[in-house]
């Protein structure tokens, strides 16, 4: 977790949790006391980890944990009283929130943080792959539109339109999608 920021949200026990986090990671730890402030701070992908020591002054903490898990790529860990853990386990698990029962066992705490970070890293890999696939899909849509225009305006088959795009891309030393965009500009109004 080196170099990645952690968000610690706690009304009580901040110093002890900060010490435990510092033992696991060497990055910056930002401490916040309330849910409203945490929601403002946890937008986007600023934090690798969001740790919530429930209850908070302005809410239980579960809603905040679920909200952060849905709106960011941070690993979200929620510390709750031991008797509450089984009651919220299903809702937390569905949102991807890890639960640590209190009183906190330091070894379990460290293991949960490490599992959360490993899951986050895997999610980031999937997110990156998804973005690549989405880009490729968008490029294929452009190429297919260009082929349709070539078929319509040049009265050729799909295979011939494909070859026209391929040949033009090779001759111009451009990616097919760039050539397809030029075709779209030429034929679309």
CA dihedral 25, 45, 96, 56 (to 10 degrees): 80
pLDDT at 58: 86
**Pick from 96, 55, 56: nearest CA to 76:** 96
Q: What is the pTM of this model?
A: 0.77
Task: Identify the pLDDT of residue 89.
Answer: 93
Give domain limits for the chain. Answer: 6-104, 131-187
Kindly report whether the peptide bond that precedes residue 133 is cis, defined as omega within 30 degrees of 0.
no
CATH architecture type of domain 131-187: Orthogonal Bundle (1.10)
Q: Which pLDDT belongs to residue 174?
A: 95
Q: Which residues pair with 79 in a beta bridge?
A: 53, 100
Beta-strand relationship, 6-10 and 97-102: unpaired
Q: 85 with 104: CB under 8 angstroms?
A: no
Q: At what angle do helices 14-24 and 106-154 cross, to 10 degrees?
A: 70
Positions in the chain short of pLDDT 50: 2
**6-104 CATH:** 3.40.50.2300
CA 187 – CA 185 distance, rounded (Å): 6
Contact 25, 6 (CB under 8 A): yes
State both tokens at 104: 């906190």
Decide if 65 contacts 89 (C-beta within 8 A).
no
Residues 88-119: tens digit of each pLDDT: 999 999 999 999 999 999 999 999 999 999 99
């Amino acid at each position: 977790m080196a170099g990645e920021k952690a968000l610690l949200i706690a009304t009580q026990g901040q110093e002890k949790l900060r010490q435990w986090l510092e033992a696991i990671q060497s990055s910056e730890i930002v401490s916040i006391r309330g849910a409203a402030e945490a929601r403002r701070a946890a937008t986007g992908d600023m934090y690798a980890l969001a740790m919530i020591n429930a209850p908070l002054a302005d809410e239980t903490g579960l809603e905040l944990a679920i909200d952060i898990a849905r709106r960011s790529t941070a690993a979200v860990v929620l510390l709750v009283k031991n008797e509450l853990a089984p009651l919220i386990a299903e809702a937390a698990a569905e949102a991807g929130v890890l639960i640590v029962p209190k009183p906190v066992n330091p070894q379990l705490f460290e293991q949960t943080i490490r599992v959360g970070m490993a899951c986050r890293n895997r999610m980031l890999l999937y997110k990156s792959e998804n973005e690549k696939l989405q880009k490729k899909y968008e490029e294929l849509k452009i190429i297919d539109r260009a082929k349709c225009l070539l078929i319509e305006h040049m009265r050729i088959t799909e295979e011939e339109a494909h070859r026209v795009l391929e040949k033009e891309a090779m001759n111009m030393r451009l990616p097919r999608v760039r050539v397809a965009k030029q075709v779209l500009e030429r034929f679309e109004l």
